[in-house]
Chain A
Amino acid sequence: MSDPVLRLEGIVKTFPGVRALDGVSFSVMPGEVHALMGENGAGKSTLMKVLGGIHQPNEGHIFMGDEKAVMAGPLEAKAKGIVFIHQELSLAEELSVAENIYLGELPRKSFGRVDWSTLEENTNTILKKLNVGFDATTRVGDLSIANQQMVEIARALTVDAKAVIFDEPTASLTDAEKSVLFDVIADLKADGVGIIYISHRMEEIFKITDRISVLRDGQYQGTVNTRDSNEESVTQMMIGRKLDLSRNASHHELGDVALEVRGLSCGKLYSDISFEVRRGEVVGFYGLVGAGRTEIAETLFGLRDPSGGQILLNGEEVRISSPADAIARGISLVPEDRKGQGLVLGMNCRDNMTLPQVDDLKAGPFVAEGAEIAIFDQYRDRLDIRTPGWKQQVGNLSGGNQQKIVIGKWLSMHPNVLIVDEPTRGIDVGSKSEIHKLLRELAAQGYAVMVISSEMPEVLHVSDRTVAMYSGQIMRTFTSDEVTEDNLIQAISGIKSGQAA
């Protein structure tokens, strides 16, 4: 057996008051895809920063081949052949693909002029390898997110990479784009590159990785062969207990129709959408990114004007012109991008939770702080939000607790319809199941809940009925008895039932 390309030995990293990494040791073999898993806060990011030379370990060593390697900074890590593909893209949108790939290392001619022809040639060679549908001169801002990620990967391929680290690379990719990414990973693998693959998505982990290493609270929990393991056992390593992902259907009586949509259309985004949500049920919306699900939610919340169709609330037709209007009618939206659209990160927990209703709570011209604290306390207890107190800045909470603040914000206003877009994106496994349980409980308490999700297990787990969308249209609505993974996948891929996959 050959030597590992990268070996970590007893890495310890402490911050004031926290032992972020506590004796992490594992190795990555050439041509291996090595998954690194752990809940948020388990130490994955810190470990990556140690590898990337951003943090120096307090104890322990990194070996590359059989040489001890000290990463004094990001440039040195890159020079040693460690390359990162980050979840968040860092591209200059106004520049061309080629300029982005060779940013900082543009080939030059005399007098410091850029050698455009060499640049284009080199770039196209790399792009050909990646089998993408754009060329060196395309402006990066004109590319889809998936293609932008390909640019990041192309950038990684310009150096002689020994180890490539993918950090949640599929977070914003569609299934088709994912398979292209997996092909690229397979190519790297064939070239003998060691790959560390960080992801929360179990399906992918089991599809493409060879071994799995797990961190929990900064401690190394062990490495297992992917073949010899399963989702349940890995989850157990990550959280120390089992996760329930069984099907759920409401056993209680459903109430009246809270929201009905008839023939709703919005230009090219979606058309002829009809569905209803009753009190006491969770209706899941599943489809690929760009299928129009979020856009429907945005229309219902007054952020987009529909081009046709009707929206009925409690049987009465309404026109929703703004979020303020939607809120007044009892429609609430927990948005897809929690930090960008849902929370004011610099504000404390209480102020975030009462933000939409602070105007209703006021005493004279003044904010009624006492009433606000009472609301916060009530929903902190009800949703089990873990925070030292209401004064805590929301930006300092974990993803799961942040999401609960957003949900609590709307629940405290007793909405008619609660729309939740990607309820558990970027949230660790433990909090995920809490949020799922919460959504089920809300239905049991008589709320009408719409859940939009790109994760099939999640949709299957929380929904009473599942709406499958493809390219702006509803393909089929399933009851929880009818739905299977197979027929759901077929529906969202645009295949009518009965046809072969």
Chain B
Amino acid sequence: MGLKGRAVGWLDGPPSVHPARPDWRTWAPVAWVVVLALLINAPLLAPGFVLSYDLVFTPRQDLLPAALGLDGGFPRAVPQDAVVSVLTTLVPGMLLEKAILVSIPVLAGLGMLRLLTDVPALSARLVAATLAAWNPFVAERLVIGHWGLLLAYAMAPWALASAVDLRRGRVAAGPRMVLQIAVGSLTPSGSLLLLGLALPVAVGPGSRASAGIRALVGCGCAALALPWVLPALLSALLSDAAPTYAASAASGAGVFGLRSEGPWGPLLTALGLGGLWNADAVPDSRSWVVAPLLGVVLLLLAVIGTPSLIRSLGRAVTLWLWATAACGLLAAVLSATAEPLWASFLEMSPALGLLRDSQKLLAPLALLTSVGAGLGVAAALARVRDRSARSALLALALVVPLAALPDLAWGVGGRLTAVEYPPEWPEVRDFLAADPRPGDVVVLPWSAFRRFAWNGDRTVLDPAPRWLPRPTVVDDGLAVATPDGIVVVSGEDPRAAEVARAIAAGDDLATLLPALGIGWVLVEEGQASAIPVSATALAGMQPALRSGGLRLLATPMPAQERGLPPGTPWVVAADVLVVASLVAWAVAAALWREPRRRRGSFGTVTPS
């Protein structure tokens, strides 16, 4: 059943397309999305930093080798850290973090409005925007701090809309799409999500863009993956890191798979867009019975909305959306129901470690159910003749997703809040920046995560690597509590492995560290350690600074100079190339104007 030709009311009328006279039907969905974003983020706008699991920002982050993927570990936060480093030279980190957190639901919601621009039903746009901004996937990933992935998720409808435009032969959409994918490609996962969703649509079979344009856009998009693909490849090929990557991927398969959020099992959990591996980061409402029920209802609505989706985006694009969503769903469920099979799959290649946190594979399903259910609701409402009944049903459709996940509001039910760093952190940073003695910094206690009293004892990744102006060596193993005890997913940094071995053996760090290029030890007092540090291990170190809960020690001998990691010139060259290409694409997007178009009937926009 479609929307075309149905009785129209205020819910079904098209928004004004005249740029000078946008009417309330244009602004109302935008305002609604902003309201949703504020509802989620309002408490986070207070002064301070939001620190939760992997979400760590500091006032200023230096551009260090690790930010370019040159620290020996798999480049999971590349180029995210490099981009933050550059941006925090222009904007305080606190403001940058707040801007990003607010922009995630705003971009996701507005992206749905953009994707459904050609759909006249206001109800479809409103519901789709609501579902995209307010769902368990967003809630759980916010708590665990995967903002890079969420930014990719939020950019996905934008990139998909541009891909559809390019597919229809609108050449100006090409540069736009490359830039949109670039915004969301701050992590390997985000990069793969956007490239996998949008690129086949834009340049795949059936695209009306010329072969040259398709080649140009395809290469431009693929190049966006270079900042993380190249260091990963070089690290694997030049420094034998591949087995370490593989070991990390394999050991993570068991703990990072999809987790059932109730007795209904992994399939219904996944259909409800939940299932993050970490029970501590999951909102309480996910255990309510309404959670899987809503997931099923939204899927049914998406099925109902599929004919409208075909009319809006085309048959091939709709099929591609369903296919990616189904594959992601299947993989996520398999990670929970067929763990040995999933582990065997991940062991096939070190690169597959990117998939070990399998709930992230539900991102395409989240997008499909948002846009599909929006259209499904509109199709259902079009059958209701009574205007007030239509309004009431729409209100219900907008409120139910919020009511089913009320603890996404107000910083995910208070799980996220803004706090100030104690003054010792900038003091240590300034000290290390000013001191001429060379060397990187080992951070103790030997544990990747911290719980600071000033942060409400929330679990957070050690902020030291982002605070300090020098490269750090930290515990990069990931300890996870499981029913069988604590499991440590092995890290990948060879220097971290060497330091961990020395600590466990009780070796004198003062004599060991300089040979590793390390000249300093930062001790965060009061924090628990994975491996107890004996008094003798630090006996030879020289006190350099003590402030608040931080103690900085220096090695008696200067640290040996470390050469640049292998492949550094290639990685830097690739990064410069990508930045230059983005400038070129931005210029092209600004100059490349589409001829004026007139809006046709639903699903068609014809060039004049």
Say if A and B assemble together.
no
